[in-house]
């Protein structure tokens, strides 16, 4: 009752969206859809409405939801830097419904444009997974849509009725230190960790090949704020990654992209392809165990900082899903921030891959 299609072209032609929908409908042998989850590449970001109309006409339904993004993918292929559309068609008793007043335990697909990121909305009721429809810069004309129209609020949340789901997350990092207490901070600067200078602790634990470089590659180094019990936080994935902005040799502090309060727990980490690949495989397997059945479809939000560029030309996150479930239809996009239910609250993450695995029995 669910299938995907992906299509590319030379220009942002609305027919590309119709083609992606048609491919999915052909797999299902249906003449109309209940709903369509439609992701469009950034070539459509300025004016996606003609593509939404083309998808609606092809599917014979008005419940077209999704967003534009830097890149898109299905189980068949991924596309970056080209006009493209990816569609997941829902038929039978399955579909997507706009969530107007979600309850605290509702599982929701959450999408937002970069200029509409709202922490109050992210933290509102519902166990959310999804992402920010943007590129690595966090800017651009990216848009979100539901009910076949551009969402003027810039964000939406969607129910998946008649399904059961489980949310998974892969942070994709290698921990350099154990969790340690922030003993002194000043705004965005972490000065000391466990009574040691923050920069000294980081520099001492960097891999040898990184220490030999003339400068620390800050885009690979992350601080990880721990939630709950520190000893098992890494294994449980109970942490959020915070980018490092600068290292300061004068006071041996490290400047982060967000504040860490004194008394909080964190550890230093490094982004590595091998660690990320391993993390994704573990996350897929663990999430499937939580679901309790082999999934029948999946929806994925991946960071623009992961994907093929991070893995040297092959998206090994997608390969991890396909190796566990070779015939699983899935759809997703590369964005600039991931939303995930983590440690009993909704979090906005960095450099992660968030996914929902779903089963249905209708």
The length of the chain, given as a count of residues? 362
- Looking at the 3D structure of the chain, how many domains does it have? 2
Please tell me whether residues 16 and 152 are part of one structural domain.
Answer: yes
The H-assigned helical ranges of the chain are 14-28, 49-59, 119-122, 198-205, 208-211, 233-236, 273-291, 307-310, 316-324
Instruction: Tell which of 220, 243, 270 closes a domain.
Output: 270
Residue 146 has pLDDT above 90, yes or no: yes
Please tell me whether residues 7 and 129 are part of one structural domain.
Answer: yes
Please tell me whether residues 103 and 234 are part of one structural domain.
Answer: no
- Token look-up 């992209």 returns 257
Structural domain that includes position 194:
173-270
Instruction: Tell which of 214, 248, 270 closes a domain.
Output: 270
- How far is residue 148's CA from residue 43's CA, in Å, rounded to a whole number? 18
pLDDT at 117: 87
The one-character DSSP state at 276 is H
- How far is residue 245's CA from residue 221's CA, in Å, rounded to a whole number? 9
Please tell me whether residues 189 and 109 are part of one structural domain.
Answer: no
Residue 77 has pLDDT above 80, yes or no: yes
Please tell me whether residues 259 and 353 are part of one structural domain.
Answer: no
Strand 239-248 relative to strand 297-303, pairing: unpaired
Q: Tell if the pTM clears 0.75, that is, is over it.
A: yes
Please tell me whether residues 101 and 244 are part of one structural domain.
Answer: no
Please tell me whether residues 179 and 158 are part of one structural domain.
Answer: no
Instruction: Tell which of 214, 238, 270 closes a domain.
Output: 270
Please tell me whether residues 106 and 212 are part of one structural domain.
Answer: no
pLDDT grade for 138, boundaries at 50, 70 and 90: low
pLDDT grade for 312, boundaries at 50, 70 and 90: very high
**For range 184-204, the mean pLDDT:** 96
Tens-digit pLDDT profile for residues 163-188: 999 999 999 899 999 999 999 999 99
């Amino acid at each position: 009752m669910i299938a995907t299609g992906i299509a590319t072209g030379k220009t942002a032609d609305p027919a590309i969206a119709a083609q992606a929908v048609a491919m999915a409908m052909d797999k299902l042998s249906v003449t109309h859809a209940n709903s369509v989850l439609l992701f469009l590449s950034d070539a459509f970001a300025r004016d996606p409405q003609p593509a939404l109309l083309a998808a609606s006409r092809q599917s014979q339904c008005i419940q077209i939801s999704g967003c534009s993004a830097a890149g898109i993918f299905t189980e068949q292929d991924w596309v970056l830097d080209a006009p493209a559309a990816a569609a997941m068609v829902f038929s039978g008793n399955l579909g997507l419904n706009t969530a107007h007043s979600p309850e605290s335990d509702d599982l929701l697909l959450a999408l937002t444009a970069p200029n509409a990121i709202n922490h109050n909305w992210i933290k509102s009721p519902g166990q959310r997974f999804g992402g920010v429809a943007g590129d690595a810069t966090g800017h651009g004309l990216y848009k979100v849509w539901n009910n076949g129209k551009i969402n003027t609020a810039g964000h939406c949340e969607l129910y998946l009725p008649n399904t059961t789901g489980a949310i998974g997350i892969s942070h994709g990092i290698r921990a350099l230190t154990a969790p340690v207490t922030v003993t002194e901070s000043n705004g965005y600067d972490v000065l000391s960790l466990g009574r040691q200078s923050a920069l000294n602790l980081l520099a001492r634990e960097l891999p040898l090949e990184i220490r030999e470089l003339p400068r620390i590659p800050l885009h690979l180094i992350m601080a990880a704020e721990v939630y709950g019990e520190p000893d098992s936080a890494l294994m449980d994935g109970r942490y959020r990654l915070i980018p490092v902005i600068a290292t300061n040799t004068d006071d041996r502090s490290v400047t982060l992209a967000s504040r860490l309060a004194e008394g909080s727990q964190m550890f230093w980490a490094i982004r590595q392809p091998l660690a990320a690949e391993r993390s994704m495989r573990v996350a897929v397997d663990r999430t499937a165990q939580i679901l309790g059945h082999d999934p029948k479809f999946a929806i994925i939000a991946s960071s623009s900082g992961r994907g093929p560029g991070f893995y040297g030309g092959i998206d090994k996150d997608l390969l991890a899903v396909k190796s566990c479930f070779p015939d699983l239809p899935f759809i997703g996009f590369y964005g600039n921030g991931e939303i995930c239910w983590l440690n009993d609250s909704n979090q906005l993450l960095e450099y992660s891959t968030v996914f929902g695995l779903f089963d249905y029995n209708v």
